[in-house]
Structure 1
Amino acid sequence: MKLDPASGLVRGVRFVASPNCDARPDGTPVDILVIHSISLPPGEFGGPGIEQLFCNSLDPDAHPYYREIMDLTVSAHFLIRRNGKVVQFVPLHQRAWHAGQSFCEGRTRVNDFSVGIELEGTDDLPFEDAQYDSLARLTAIIRRRYPAITRERLYGHGDIAPGRKTDPGPMFDWKRYLKASS
């Protein structure tokens, strides 16, 4: 994996363009990284639901839960599947719609200054070794592009939206991730 700075895309990963993004505000530095987790349908892995959600093509008849979320317009810069495969949805220089209502380091509008990475997972299952490996490699690429994203500026979604979100959840091994991302 290697970043193409002109396009904001990471070479060696599959790119699936999400419409759920826009331009970052002029002059806003990217200085935090937010780790999320997601599974669609809830608790199931490997299906097309996450990509469909991020591309506004979720079939509400494919699963009862999809009727509840079919009108969401969300995305992330990246998704790391259970097998470690990475999918990119939004170029790094654009703002992905991943953080929602959130607050970090005294600032709101967290999407403006952050990169969002989704891990395919849930709060109650451990993540896979391949996911930690891909996450560490991807974090290194992102931090080279945005050096203001220091070790202290790696957050979970639950950290920036407490009471509203819990991901990546208690099964995410922060010590392991931070050690591999040093």
Structure 2
Amino acid sequence: MSDIPALYLEKFREHLQKIIAVNEDDFRLISPFFTLKTLRKKEYLLRPPQVSGYESYIVKGLFQSSLIDDSGKLHLLYFPHEDWWVGDFKSFRTDQASSMEIVALEDAVLLQITKASLEELYQSLPVFERFFRILNENSAIALQNRLVQHFSKDSEKKYLDFLKKYPTLKNRLTNRQIAGFLGVTPEYFSLMRKRILQKDRDS
């Protein structure tokens, strides 16, 4: 782990401690299972039909996670960023080809762990299995919330929720990317933003 700067390791430890207790001895056991990965802007972390070989913690950077349907259409799912995990968990667990496309929107730094290393870590430190269980439960809840929002709210409400939940991302994404996430055309998104700004001025 000598190739991973101490600053990155400390950030990772702080992330773990939000869910599980990690003392110095525990972290010395955990950290050697991870490796450092850097990506430049526009580089792909994953694209079909690759198999996702890693679970990746984002130390720095912003990604676009998309799903490609059978017709080849791209559907924007998430914009994983600092202190998130990024990858295709289904592909990672099943060793099946991924249908997801994950690209770096900014230069990025990741801490990665392989499936074999993760299983070994579970054996060495069972509390880490609890960490990943909670992480995956939270991911499932977030996905369900996104589906409910998609089918129950109009585009304007979805955009306002996006701004509230991810206030820093609007300045790191293009209008086209946000429109894709909301499931509307860039033209409609532009009109919608103007309408919202006008409401704010009138209120």
**TM-score, normalising length: structure 1:** 0.29
Question: If you compute each CA radius of gyration, which structure gives the higher value, 1 or 2?
Answer: 2
Q: Which has the higher helix share?
A: 2
Which has the bigger relative contact order, CA under 8 A and spacing at least 6? 1
**TM-score, normalising length: structure 2:** 0.27
